[in-house]
Amino acid sequence: MREATAGQVVWVEGMAGTPVVRIAPIDVGDALAEHLWAEHDGETVTAVLTSATIPGGLGARLGLEGGSFDELDVGTPFDFEDHALLYCAAHLPDPRSPEYEAAMHDELVALLEAAGGRTLALFTSWRAMHAAAADATDRVPYRVLSQDDLPKPALLRAFTDDETSCLFATMGFWQGVDVPGTALSQVIIDRLPFARPDEPLMQARRQRAGPNAFRLIDLPRAATMLAQGAGRLIRSATDQGVVAVLDPRLGKAGYRWDLVNALPPMRRTRDREDVVAFFATAFRI
């Protein structure tokens, strides 16, 4: 059996009868610096890395020396300020409190009604997704699709073809979903996407970072994930809609601007009536 090095973390996952051993580097920078960025046969490597959600400090994390690379922000062709609204339900209870789930379900249903369906609801856990889908199915007149109803391509086709339908999904749909047009006019996010505290690789990275682990490890990852989820909304120059975050920490926590500033430059509100007015104008609801 292969032995892990000091820069790797090993864990076991899977069912009791079929355990799987995983091994992963805590930091990929050293390996990339040695095997990818270093000169080979006297030639240097040139790479172009692109993304709509590149986090700050990525160069160092990828093993690139300061001054050895260029960063360029080319902006966006989309008019987020006029076409999109960021709503934070700051009045909801803390997501870690027992009162949160019922209050979040009520808020979610109100937002589905405001948009006339047309919603991709993103959740940070399967349990939360199933509970919200079951609640919404009994309370709204729109078709509610869940991630495990169909294979992903068929699920996205069903969601796109039925304009007033709602799709409830987990982390697999926070990126790589492209549904331009009015079928996806609202993205609802249940909680800020912080990694689970017991996730082995994140645990190892936190231990290595020490006292600054939250700001160096957890916060950048959450900001990137949040931006990716919000990015499902505006997919063309004519798209418009609302990103609704049902986690009051986005409006109250001391780190909130790290998250907000990672999002597209949308107008912001804490008042649900602004969401209702937005959709009333957009769709004459």
Q: How many CA atoms lie within 13 A of 63 on its CB side?
A: 13
Pairing of strands 119-122, 186-189: parallel
What's this model's pTM, rounded to 2 decimal places? Answer: 0.87
Residue 127 corresponds to which tokens in the numbers above?
């349990």
- Whether the pLDDT of residue 285 is over 70: the answer is no
- Paired strand residues for 20: 13
C-alpha distances (whole Å) from 150 to each of 38, 125, 167 are 45, 18, 11
C-alpha distances (whole Å) from 142 to each of 15, 37, 195 are 36, 52, 32
**By 3-state DSSP, what share of the chain in percent is helix, strand and coil, each rounded to 5?**
40, 15, 45
Tens of pLDDT, residues 127-165: 999 999 999 999 999 999 999 999 999 999 999 999 999
- Paired strand residues for 43: 40
CA torsion angle for 279, 282, 284, 285 (degrees, to 10)?
Answer: -20
Confidence of residue 122 (pLDDT cuts 50, 70, 90): very high
Nearest to 245 by CA among 200, 169, 190: 190
Residue 44: its pLDDT value, please?
74
- Paired strand residues for 90: none
214-250 in b/e form (b: 16+ CB < 10 A) is eebbbbbbbbbbbbbbbbbbbbeeebbbbbbbbbbbb
Kindly state the percentage of the chain with pLDDT values over 90: 62
Residue 92: its pLDDT value, please?
98
- Whether the pLDDT of residue 96 is over 60: the answer is yes
User: How far apart are the C-alpha atoms of 199 and 185, rounded to whole Å?
Assistant: 33
User: How far apart are the C-alpha atoms of 164 and 73, rounded to whole Å?
Assistant: 35
Confidence of residue 25 (pLDDT cuts 50, 70, 90): confident
Residue 1: its pLDDT value, please?
52
181: Cβ–Cβ under 8 A, 6 or more apart, which residues?
Answer: 160, 236, 239
Residue 133: its pLDDT value, please?
98
Residue 100: its pLDDT value, please?
98
Confidence of residue 284 (pLDDT cuts 50, 70, 90): low
User: What CATH number was assigned to the domain covering residues 80-283?
Assistant: 3.40.50.300
Residue 70: its pLDDT value, please?
84
The domain spans of the chain are 8-61, 80-283
Residue 49: its pLDDT value, please?
82
Kindly state the percentage of the chain with pLDDT values over 70: 98
User: How far apart are the C-alpha atoms of 164 and 13, rounded to whole Å?
Assistant: 39
User: How far apart are the C-alpha atoms of 177 and 170, rounded to whole Å?
Assistant: 12
- Whether the pLDDT of residue 166 is over 90: the answer is yes
Residue 76: its pLDDT value, please?
81
Residue 2: its pLDDT value, please?
63
